[in-house]
A and B are shown apart, each in its own frame.
Chain A
Amino acid sequence: MGLLGYTVRRLAGLGLVLLGVSILVFVLLRGMPGVDPLSAYITPGLPMSPEALKGLRDELHLDQPLPLQYVYYVADLLRGDWGYSRTAAQLVISALIDRLPATVELAVSAVLLSTAIGVPAGIIAALRRDRAPDIVVRVVSITGISFPVFWLGILLQLVFFYYAGQLGLPALPSRGRVDDLVALQYPLSPITGFFLIDSLLTGNLAFFASALAHLVLPAFTLSLIGLATIVRIMRASMLEVLRQDYILLARSKGLPLRTVLLRHALRNAITPVLTTAGTTLGILLGGAVVVETVFSWPGIGRLAAQGILNNDSVLVVGFALFVATMMVLVNLAVDILYAVVDPRVRY
């Protein structure tokens, strides 16, 4: 049984999870006692004629029994009809897809950043256990985990944007994905929707530089969410692996420490970190609501925050479903990666 069979089996399980999520979301939308499901579709203050209301009821099949409504609902979802968002003045599905690249770019950068910092820090802490480097890493990561992220984000904006600007130092941008002027002067032709990738593909370096500068503060802020966890897991896992018998045998062969660490220890120690990084990515893809809002980052999290303030339940429910789907997909990707690293998982 190889990797392919494993993937197919995992995909089947994934369908079940999504079924569950869709039921949950449906019940929230239509099945809440005392709430008229129609209210979600009506803009407050904009009266509708009885005929229009009747048309809406028919369109949503609200006069049918709930189970049948669910079937229609799922059919709509599958057709891509997730409803209309008042907040975005757009169909929900297009609103989400339009803003997805911004969120993915930010979340992936943040996870890469926390892995790039967390893995080496965890390894160093493990190798220098109970000595100065370990203690520094531990204190910093505990401190990191105890700060609220929005507060750190604002603090970073204050230091690197406001104070740096005041002192005439090169300041980092604190709002949006790219400088408006740069975007006007050097317009980007979209390919993937990821600014960094598209600007590189089209050789638009001015745009790339601006997009990268805009990414720094929010990505760093967001990376702190996963960083402390990754450091702690990497450290614990490395310590555990270094105690293993196969490390002793590898050392007894006379292999240099570098080889023992990189080939034998790291490969084994990294697997729990993969899971953590994957879970963090899943959370950030859906839950970067606060950081996206603080940095005016035009992603799905900020949109969802606006939707909540607007009482736009069609959007919020669509967002929940969307996030759940991505979470499931990310988990699948992590599991496949896990199976690539560890041959025992495939069986």
Chain B
Amino acid sequence: MTRLGETAVLEVEDLCVELSIGGRWVRALNNVSLSVRPGEALGLVGESGSGKSLTALAVAGLLPENARVVAGSIRLKGEAVLGRSEAELNRLRGRALAFIFQNPTSYLNPLLTVGVQIAEVFEVSPELLASEDGGRLRGGERRKLAWRRVVEHLRLVHIPDPERVARQYPFELSGGMQQRVVIAMALIRRPSLVIADEITTALDVTVQAQILRLLAELRASIGMTLLLITHDMGIVAQLADRVAVMYSGSVVETSDVASLFAAARHPYAKALLEAVPRIDGNETTLRAIPGAIPAITNPPPGCRFHLRCPRVFGPCAGTVPPAVALGEQHSVACHLYRDGPA
């Protein structure tokens, strides 16, 4: 659980990212700030298009070619991410981060066996393959140990017959098994931070539940730190300690999960909670909120939510509301709370 004062694993401050769309630079992330502390799981929630994935990619220095960071800072384990060379970034990514993405089928290389794709992380972090007594191993022994580790980790994510699966190609596995492979691939490096981006969206409902259970179990057993991206408040409730709610490129509310569920402040966060999809359904759109998230190429002035907000008033269309602290763990960006807790 969160302990204050400890250095954050991830610290994002006032991150602004622009995208080149149709020859024009468009703001996609506006002053995004969030932090993940050791051992905790931060849920990053918001509708499709709110900028969750861009935030995650920026953290790893993996923004698409047509994106640029225009302001802000990102620190991973205290080290700045922005302004690094590709080689330095590679080292940082290899040591500190692991991704689990949405659709395992497209994120696994179709032409390489599962085992090869997992084992290649040892090329980046050879120290993971030190022998039991800490000595250096020679080629053949290293390969054997690497393979043993791969099989161990496939077993850890409850893949049956891991020796065989390690020799299989992704297309020979079901979606759920593929996602377990990606999870094993992430865990084998013992990364400081695991970023899980909508990892159950592409799976069918029963498999979703299994993967979520696995993630909860792994958090308890090996204590991973998690940035959990989802548009599903149900998953947040199940897995996260704290939550950051994003809307149209900005974080509108940050809170611990209990307080958010008990008393969300931002009208958008409230609406999201009312729209919590049941785990048995695929319905994830926000029926509670009329209208749609604005296109980033043509955002409304002022608060980006004001056109859909049930509590819109005077200043909303004029100025962007700044984030206001409501408590040590709670902040909200909304004109309703300009003068502190309402």
Contacts and interface: CB of A to CB of B under 8 A. Distances in A.
B97 A343 contact: no
B32 interface: no
Interface string A315-345: 0000000000000000000000000011110
A255 B111 contact: no
A245 B169 contact: no
A253 interface: yes
B121 A248 contact: no
Contact of A246 (B90, B98, B109): B109
B107 A248 contact: yes
A249 B124 CA distance: 14
Instruction: State the majority secondary structure of interface residues on A.
Output: helix
A255 B182 contact: no
A267 B182 CA distance: 20
A170 interface: no
A268 interface: yes
B160 to A, nearest CB: 21
What band does the interface of chain A fall in when counting residues whose beta carbon is under 8 Å from B? 20 to 34
A185 interface: no
Given A252-B99, A255-B120, A246 B107 contact: yes
B94 A268 contact: no
A267 B86 CA distance: 23
Given A255-B120, A259-B123, A263-B120, A246 B60 contact: no
Q: Which of A245, A253, A341, A342 has the most CB of B within 10 A?
A: A253
A49 interface: no
B93 interface: yes
Contact of A268 (B106, B109, B182): B109
A344 B170 CA distance: 10
Interface residues of B, number: 32
A91 interface: no
A244 interface: yes
A119 B94 CA distance: 30
B187 to A, nearest CB: 13
A171 interface: no
A264 B109 CA distance: 7
Nearest to B118: A253
Contacts of A343: 111, 169, 171
B77 interface: no
Most chain A CB inside 10 Å of its own CB: which residue of B60, B97, B109, B185: B109
Given A249-B182, A263-B112, A263-B120, A344 B171 contact: yes
A254 interface: yes
Contacts of B123: 255, 259
Nearest to A250: B109
Nearest to B170: A246
Contact of A255 (B62, B90, B95, B97): B90
Contacts of A246: 106-110
Interface in B87-120: 87, 90-95, 97-99, 101, 103, 106-112, 120
A252 B227 CA distance: 15
Contacts of A249: 99, 101, 107-108, 182
A257 interface: yes
10 contacts: A244-B106, A246-B108, A249-B182, A253-B98, A254-B97, A256-B87, A259-B123, A342-B111, A343-B111, A344-B171
Given A254-B91, A268-B111, 16 more contacts: A245-B106, A250-B109, A252-B60, A253-B94, A253-B98, A253-B185, A254-B92, A254-B124, A254-B125, A255-B90, A264-B109, A264-B112, A267-B109, A341-B111, A342-B110, A344-B171
